[in-house]
Amino acid sequence: MEICKNLGIKVKSHMSSITPAQKKKLLTFLDKGSKKGDVKNWEEEKKKNIRSVLDKELDKEEKSGRIRVKTKKKTKPGKTKKAKTKTKEKKAKRPKIKKVIEIPDGISIKQLSEKINIPSNQLLQTLFNMGEALNINQPLDKDLVEVLANEFNFKYKIISFDEGVDEAFSDKEEELQPRPPIVTIMGHVDHGKTTLLDSIRDTKVASSEAGGITQDIGAYQIIHKNEKITFIDTPGHEAFTTMRARGAKVTDIAIIVIAADDGIMPQTVEAINHAKAAEVPIIIAINKIDLPNANVDKIKQGLTEYNLVPEEWGGDTICVEISAINKINIDDLLEMILLVAEMHEIKGNPNAEGSGIIIESRLDKSMGPVATVVLKRGKIKVGDSFVTGNAIGRVRSLIDEKGKHIKKAVLSQPVEILGFSNVPQAGDKLFVVKNEKVAKEIINKKEYEKKMSKMAESRKKITLEELADLQKEQEIKKLGIVLKADSNGSLDAVEKSLNNINEDNIKIEIIHKGVGAITDSDILLALASNSIVIGFGVVPTAKSKELAKKEEIEIRTYNIIYKLIDDIKLASKGLLEPKIERFEKGKVEVRDLFKLPKAGRIAGCYILEGEVERDDILRIVRDGKIIYEGKVDTIHRYKEDVKKVSAGYECGIKVDNYQDFDKGDIFEIYEEREVSP
C-alpha cells in the first residue's frame, strides 16, 4: 500500500479499484525494484504474490476488451468503413457448437433451448420472424429444427426412443464374445423347409434332450461339433419381414431352400429379396437332390439372375446340395452355417443386462400373455423386471424348448417368458431393467415422445408427390419400387422401361417384382424398405389395401405403361402436377347374366359395398386381374332405369362398350376427383 502511495496511485481496500494503467505502472516498478534493489524491506515472497494477482487482473481486462481500445492499432489508410463493418459482422457471428446434439423426435422449444444453451425467447423470435407462432412447449418438426440449426450454428442428430434405448444397451468391443448364430429358413411352399428343420432337430439336438421335444416354442438350439446354432421356426419370409419392418434384426443368417426338381419359384424370389433387403448373409440349400429329375445346375444358373453366383462358379454365394428327407449333407450345411458365423464375427456380451427380440406371442388361457424371446445380449433370469414395446412385466417363469422350467436364459437362447402385462407384438425388443418403477418410467417417456412426434408431423412413408418435393430440395437419391404385374411379359416390359429412366439425382431400385395381385407381403416389404408399390394390370387384395392404408404405403395401379413411366419421370424431376385421384365408391359382384333385345347383354349384380351410380368409372376384375376398364352405362331395377343403387340391393348393369361378363366377376366402382399434391 505504501508503494502505491509513493507512485501516486490512490487505492481502496481491494485490488479491483486499480485501473489497468495503474496496474501496469505498479508492475513496471516491481520489475525495476527486483532488479536494482531500490525497494527496501520488501520481502521477495510478497512481490511474487502481488505480481501473480496483477497478472491475473490484466489477463481478465484484456479478455474483456477494456484494454484493447487503448492498444488498438491505427486503421491503415487503405481500409474503409466497409471493411470495419465486415470485421464487426465477423465478430458478431455465433460460435459454432462443435458437439453433435442428440435430440428426440418432436423435441419442444424449451428442451432444445436447454440442449444448445440458448435462451428460448431467441428461438421463439427466430421462428416468429419466419411466420411460425409457437410457444415453448410445442414440438418442433424436422424442418424447423433444421432452420434453427442453420441459424444458431449447431449440428444435431435425431435419436428415436428405441435408438436411445439401444445405445444405452450397447457394448464396448472388448466386452463382446462369439455367440451362437440365429438362423431363419425360408423358401417356396413344398420345397422342404419344414422337413429340413425337423431333420436338423431330430439328428442334432443336445444329448440332454433325449426323449423328444415336449413343447414347440417357435425356436430351438442344436449342438454341432460343440458349437450351438439357434433356428427360428417361423412361417417363412412374411413373419421375417414383419419383424424387420418393426426394426428388429433378429436373424444373423438366412437359408433359402430350393427344390432341385422344381427350380426357383415366385416365393423363392421373394425370400431372396427379403433376405437381401435385411442385409443378412444368404446360404442356398438345394434340396431333393436324390430325386431322378433333380437339376442342380439349372438352379445355380437361375441364381445368377438374382446376383447370387455360387462359389464354385467364382462367386461368393455358398450353395449346399442336400436331401432333407434322407438326411444327406446335413452336416455340411451346419458346417457352412458355423463358417459364415465365424466370417461375419457374430458376437454379443454374455455378462450384460438381458435384451432380446420377441419372435412369437400369444394369450394362453391358463398362463396369460406368453412370448417367445431370443436373447441377443446378456442373460435374463426369473424375477427380472423388463420393458418391451408398450408392455412391462416381471419374469414369473422361463420355459425352454423342451418345456422345462429354467432359472436363467443366456445369449442366443430361445425361451418362453411368462409375466407380461399385455400381449406384445412380434418384433418388439425386450430390455431387462433395474425394477418395475424404471420400467414404468421408460414406457411413460416412450408414450410421451410418440405423442410429441405425431404432433410434430414426423416423416410419412414416401409417395410420388413427396418424391417430387424432395427432388426439388435434392434430398433423395433412391426410389424403391415393389412391382407386380399381370404376366411375366408385362413385368419384363415395365422393369426394362423403369431401368431405362435416366434422371439426375435419382436412382430407381426395384426391391421386388412378381406376377399376380398385390398382397400384404408386398406391403410389408415396401414398409420395411420405405418403397412404393406399383401394380400393372393387377389390383391389391382387400387385406393388402387395408394394411397399406394403416401403414401409409402408397399403391399405384396402371394399365398403360407410358402413363406409369411418365408419372415416375415427372416425380423424379419434381414436376408432378395435381393429379386426378380415384376414390373407391363401391364393390359389385356379378351373379347372373341376361340378354335384352335392345340393350344387349346385362350383368345381374349384387351390390356388396357402397353404391353404384350411372356414369361411374368401373373396373372389371377376374381372378385378381383387371380385364376391362370403362363406365357404367345404365342401371336397371324392375325393368326401370335408375340413377343409383346402394349396398344390399340387386340390379342389372350395362357397361359401356363391353359385354363379355362372367359369373363371379367383381365390378370395382370409382369416382374421380382432382387432388392437389
Task: Write the pLDDT tens digit of every residue in 581-638.
Answer: 778 899 999 999 988 777 788 899 999 999 999 889 999 999 888 898 889 989 988 8
The parent domain of residue 480 ranges over 464-577
Q: Are 388 and 432 in contact (CB under 8 A)?
A: no
d(CA 637, CA 658) in angstroms, rounded, equals 20
Question: Is the same domain home to 448 and 592?
Answer: no
What is the arithmetic mean of pLDDT over 396-409?
Answer: 88
- Compute how many other C-beta atoms are within 10 angstroms of the C-beta atom of residue 640: 7
What is the arithmetic mean of pLDDT over 535-540?
Answer: 90
Of 37-41, 377-381, 585-589, 590-594, the poorest mean pLDDT is in: 37-41
| pLDDT higher than threshold 70 for residue 17 | no
Of 195-209, 265-279, 451-465, the poorest mean pLDDT is in: 451-465
Question: Is the same domain home to 642 and 568?
Answer: no
Mean of pLDDT over the chain: 76
- Boundary residue ending a domain (420, 455, 490): 455
| pLDDT higher than threshold 60 for residue 69 | no
Residue 471's SS3 state is helix
How many structural domains are present in the chain? 5
Q: Are 417 and 369 in contact (CB under 8 A)?
A: no
Question: Is the same domain home to 475 and 497?
Answer: yes
What pLDDT does residue 518 have? 92
Does residue 211 lie in a domain region? yes
Q: Are 279 and 312 in contact (CB under 8 A)?
A: no
- Boundary residue ending a domain (393, 425, 455): 455
More confident residue, 295 or 426: 295
What pLDDT does residue 500 have? 79
User: What single-letter DSSP state applies at residue 577?
Assistant: P
Banded model confidence at residue 257, pLDDT cuts 50, 70, 90: very high
What is the arithmetic mean of pLDDT over 274-281?
Answer: 84
Of 104-118, 213-227, 559-573, 625-639, the poorest mean pLDDT is in: 213-227
Does residue 417 lie in a domain region? yes
What pLDDT does residue 60 have? 55
Output the pTM of the full model: 0.54
More confident residue, 27 or 186: 186
Question: Is the same domain home to 376 and 327?
Answer: no
In the structure grid, which three cell numbers stand for residue 165, read together? 434405448
Least Cα distance to 460 among 376, 530, 374 occurs for 530
Question: Is the same domain home to 192 and 299?
Answer: yes
Question: Is the same domain home to 409 and 490?
Answer: no
What is the arithmetic mean of pLDDT over 257-269?
Answer: 87
| pLDDT higher than threshold 60 for residue 78 | no
Question: Is the same domain home to 451 and 471?
Answer: no
Give the DSSP H or E segment for 267.
Answer: helix 266-277
Question: Is the same domain home to 497 and 557?
Answer: yes
Q: How far apart are the first and last CA of the chain?
A: 81
In the structure grid, which three cell numbers stand for residue 404, read together? 422345462
Does residue 330 lie in a domain region? yes
- Boundary residue ending a domain (455, 487, 516): 455
Does residue 387 lie in a domain region? yes
| pLDDT higher than threshold 60 for residue 210 | no
Place of cell 335384352: 596
Give the torsion through C-alpha atoms of 283, 289, 295, 296, to 10 deg: 30
Specify burial of residue 35 (Cβ count, 10 A radius: 0-12, 13-18, 19+): exposed
What is the arithmetic mean of pLDDT over 106-124?
Answer: 79
What pLDDT does residue 534 have? 93
Banded model confidence at residue 349, pLDDT cuts 50, 70, 90: confident
Banded model confidence at residue 161, pLDDT cuts 50, 70, 90: low
More confident residue, 362 or 654: 654
Banded model confidence at residue 97, pLDDT cuts 50, 70, 90: low
Banded model confidence at residue 502, pLDDT cuts 50, 70, 90: low
- Compute how many other C-beta atoms are within 10 angstroms of the C-beta atom of residue 563: 10
Does residue 491 lie in a domain region? yes
Q: Which residues contact 238 (CB under 8 A, 6 or more apart)?
A: 520, 521, 524
Does residue 51 lie in a domain region? yes
Place of cell 450345411: 333
d(CA 276, CA 269) in angstroms, rounded, equals 11
Question: Is the same domain home to 515 and 653?
Answer: no
Question: Is the same domain home to 512 and 413?
Answer: no
| pLDDT higher than threshold 60 for residue 400 | yes
Residue 622 is part of a domain; what is its CATH number?
A: 2.40.30.10
Question: Is the same domain home to 309 and 201?
Answer: yes
More confident residue, 482 or 466: 482
Q: Are 530 and 480 in contact (CB under 8 A)?
A: yes
Task: Write the pLDDT tens digit of every residue in 126-138.
Answer: 777 766 667 777 7
Between the alpha carbon of residue 112 and those of residues 26, 53, 107, 663, the distances in Å are 49, 40, 7, 63
| pLDDT higher than threshold 70 for residue 39 | no
Question: Is the same domain home to 213 and 335?
Answer: yes
Residue 506 is part of a domain; what is its CATH number?
A: 3.40.50.10050
**Residue ranges with strand state E in 322-469:** 347-348, 355-364, 368-377, 380-381, 385-388, 391-399, 405-406, 408-409, 414-420, 429-433
What pLDDT does residue 504 have? 59
Residue 303 is part of a domain; what is its CATH number?
A: 3.40.50.300
Banded model confidence at residue 359, pLDDT cuts 50, 70, 90: confident
More confident residue, 101 or 468: 101
What pLDDT does residue 83 have? 45
Does residue 101 lie in a domain region? no
What pLDDT does residue 75 have? 45
Does residue 110 lie in a domain region? no
